[in-house]
A and B are shown apart, each in its own frame.
Chain A
Amino acid sequence: MSSTSNAPPGNNRVRIVVATSVMLTFISYWRAAAVILNDLGSSAFYAGGIAEQAIGKSAPWFVLGVMLFAFAVRAVYVESCSMFVRGGVYRVVKEALGGTLAKFSVSALMFDYILTGPVSGVSAGQYIAGLINDTIAIADAHGWIPSAVHHLFNGTPQVGVNGTAVVFAIAVTLYFWWENIKGIEESSEKALWVMQITTVMVVMLIGWSLFTLLKVGGHLPPFPTLANIHYSDESLGFWKHSKLPHMFGILGLIIGFGHSVLAMSGEESLAQVYRELAHPKLKNLKRTAIVIGIYSFVFTGLVSLLAVMLIPDDVRVKVYSDNLIAGLAMNMVGPEVLRLAFRAFVVVVGFLILSGAVNTAIVGSNGVLNRVSEDGVLADWFRRPHKKYGTTYRIINLIVGLQLFTIIVSWGNIYTLGEAYAFGVVWSFVFKTISMLVLRYRYKGERNWKVPPNLHIFGIEIPIGLASVGMVLLSTAIVNLFTKSVATVSGIIFSVIFFSIFSFSERVNRRKHAHSAAQMKEQFQLQQAESVQRETVGIRTNNVLVPVRDYNTLNHLKWVLDRTDTRAQDVVVMSARISQFGTAAYGLSTEQVFSDYEQTLFTRAVSVAESFGKKISLLVVPARDPWSAIAQTAHNLESSAVVSGVSSKMTTAEQAFNLGSAWEAIPEPKRQFLLQIVQPNGNVDTFRIGPHTPTMKNEDVELLHRLWLNITREPGLENLHHHDILAEALTRLENDYAAAGHADIVRELRRNADGGPMPARLIADQVHTVESEASDRTNGDDKQRDETSSNPKITGPE
């Protein structure tokens, strides 16, 4: 095969280097905490209300207890991450208890994730509907509602809270469905921004509530004793007619605890962000755990407590149980208009954080299903990429379909949704903790941290801390099976269905993969490598990197092969295997990274190379973000050029901007390279990635020369160089720009910019490393155009 590169003697299969480590941009612990809190913090909006509906006025103590206990659960996650960099439930349970229980644990986790969307969407809808109704009621009280409207609605006009919540939840779910189909870009920046706004709200809420308490006073909720726990009809489930819950004090505590456990949903995200945490990872994970622990304790725990202390009993459950924070806002001291304005702010924040949780639910479940699909327990059919956007749209459709079904079936009943949600939350924790206990004895690999305390008796370790956390979780989960009938029935049905799908798919896939693996082995030789290095791929420096994604659009590869002498310059064809947020948290094997899609893609690429009779090297890189993957690969391989096709989603200038931003994130020292984007009509846009010597206009060169002639006439400056003058001019510009009057400079530069600020020019202004060659050289044209008739050499950076 002519396109084989570096194949061992006697082996004519095409060698593909498969990098098994996902390329990530590492984030600080603050950002990691923000990502987790977007999920964990959202439960503050509904957990307290749901708990009080189930067990009465002493609910805040249970919520506080759950938030306190969450610190101990976090310790379990820290230990699992200290063992596996991608220490999610599936990986840990599979390692400890085997594939069958891992499939069950993932089913429970999926139940959790799928319910996160509806519960968050409906909750946001309840807050919005509540605000609309209260605003109308206040307006009516002031006589601002015309009597005609009054007659029309037979009283004060009100929107149906549950109906509005359902419509809103469906709309938000559909919005994020479409965003995920298109391939949403997750950003810790966005999460941080949402958490900053939420923090402003939390500080105002707690400050104002404490001030109100000082002014009007308040009473602590009744302490959690059997006498103070008042079960609702739904809260005892299968024990509704049993005397048992009323006979045992501690059982009552467990029931109360079980009804509040959903307050700590979102902890699993801790394992998922660990992979992306910056160095020192374990220490930063602990810091993240502390931040989310304190934040959620204050937000969810304290707000639930203050709500019971400040909102009068007659309206708290009746009016505000589904939008407790809004109720808190309306029951503080101060003018009504100010309270209403603050309530609107609460609703805006709720909308942001709860909508974010809807998206997290889709992204998270897509990640988990992608992960299990890659492990062969979900049919490949689900993983087929979208023709236009390349996303796993069938998995997304399945998840969103289930979420919409849940929203409609529940018809906006947040209590039912929350109860069911707790099933997935608590059972995924139980599986995880029991697995960690088993791994204390079975796992012999590296473990940098252990949940304390641990006793050693006759050389045998007794993990007291881990076992204790497991006992609390298991006892709560067992009691929940009896007290949450809807959750138990729906959770078991859901888990059994998912488990059956996983098991059936696994059996089908095993047969199918055995056949395709045999086929693939005839064609490709996969070489696993932890990271991408030039030596591993076996290529020289100044090579050309060609990212490919769709096997139907390989024109840019043809363009490169047409112009490159591969005896002098290597061509590397690279596919970035995009791993979603969830999958990045798990370990990847060669088979997971190199699927049958990559097989088809590379078969086509090899066939193109063969048609040119030229050699190419093949590479698969798992990554969270394609731009980081390309930039990091080009950096590691010491490529001189990256040649890409045109994106269906963005302009070439935007492509260059994204690659430039990814290049900026690479630590120094780093090398520059050329980005050439080949359009379908054969035109090529060329950009330089990284700072470079600009191409100067003739008049600028003349001006520089004139200055040099004049200045060298000055005594003592005879030996001055042109670059000394440029350096002086730039230093002066830098100083002027830093000074207060830099607006003049900006204005002048704008005036001098020919043809006004073009999009690409604006982008280049923002990221100085991305700059079009031609924009320096010519007026008005941002890009250097290489016509197909010309034969430009692909060159390295100057």
Chain B
Amino acid sequence: MSLSVILIKIIEFMFVAGWIGSAIVLVLTGIEDVGTLLDRKDEKSH
């Protein structure tokens, strides 16, 4: 396996692992976002 192939494999791993982690970020922040949207007690009119 050439160096460029190894480097590409590393980059691919970073991308895939990063996306899996980012998907968890999206789910967790999404749940929090729903709470933020529902909590309107200190919201002011624009």
Given known A-B contacts A250-B15, A287-B37, A479-B11, A465 and B46 have beta carbons under 8 A apart: no
* Neighbouring B residues of A278 by C-beta, 8 Å: 44
Across-interface contacts of A479 in B (CB, < 8 A): 11
Tell me if B37 and A472 are in contact (CB < 8 A). Answer: no
Count A-side interface residues using an 8 Å CB cutoff. Answer: 41
CB <8 Å contact, A478 and B11: yes
Closest to A452 in B: B28
Which B residues are in CB contact (< 8 Å) with A473?
A: 18
Please report whether the interface of chain B is mostly helix, strand, loop or mixed according to DSSP.
helix
A460-486: CB near B (< 8 Å → 1, else 0) gives 000011011111111110110000000
Interface members, chain B 10-42 (any A CB < 8 Å): 11-12, 14-22, 24-26, 28-30, 32-33, 36-37, 39, 42
Q: Nearest chain B CB to A297's CB is how many angstroms away?
A: 11
Number of interface residues of B (CB under 8 A): 30
- For the complex, give the distance between the alpha carbons of A451 and B24 in Å: 10
B25–A465 touching, CB < 8 Å: yes
| C-alpha gap A278/B45 in the complex (Å) | 11
* Also in contact, A469 and B36, with CB within 8 A (given A28-B45, A253-B15): no
Residues in A neighbouring B16, C-beta threshold 8 A: 250
A474 touches B14 (CB 8 A): yes
Tell which of A31, A71, A75, A474 touches B46, judged by Cβ atoms closer than 8 Å. Answer: A31
Chief secondary structure at chain A's binding surface: helix
Q: How far is B19's CA from A80's CA once the two chains are assembled, in angstroms?
A: 21
Asked if A453 contacts B28 (CB within 8 A), the reply is yes
Interchain CB contact under 8 A, A75 and B14: no
A-B contact count (CB 8 A): 103
Q: Is the CB of A251 within 8 A of B8?
A: yes
Q: Which of B4, B17, B43 contacts A471 (CB 8 A)?
A: B17
Q: Is the CB of A469 within 8 A of B25?
A: yes
- The answer, yes or no, to whether A671 is at the interface (CB within 8 Å) is no
Q: Which residues of A contact B11 (CB under 8 A)?
A: 251, 254, 475, 478-479
A254-B15, A476-B15 known; A286 and B22 CB under 8 Å?
no
Q: Which of chain B's residues have a CB closer than 8 A to the CB of A192? A: 46
Residues from chain A with a CB closer than 8 A to the CB of B46 are: 28-31, 192
Q: Name the contact of A452 in the complex, choosing from B8, B14, B29, B39 (C-beta under 8 A).
A: B29
Check if A290 sits within 8 Å of B25, measured CB to CB.
no
Chain A 7-30 near chain B by CB (<8 Å), digits 1 or 0 = 000000000000000000000111
Chain B residues within 8 Å of A, Cβ to Cβ: 4-5, 8, 11-12, 14-22, 24-26, 28-30, 32-33, 36-37, 39, 42-46
Q: Given A68-B26, A248-B12, list of 20 further CB < 8 A pairs?
A: A29-B46, A31-B46, A69-B19, A71-B29, A72-B29, A244-B8, A248-B8, A250-B12, A251-B8, A254-B12, A290-B37, A452-B24, A452-B28, A452-B32, A453-B25, A465-B25, A469-B18, A475-B14, A476-B15, A478-B11
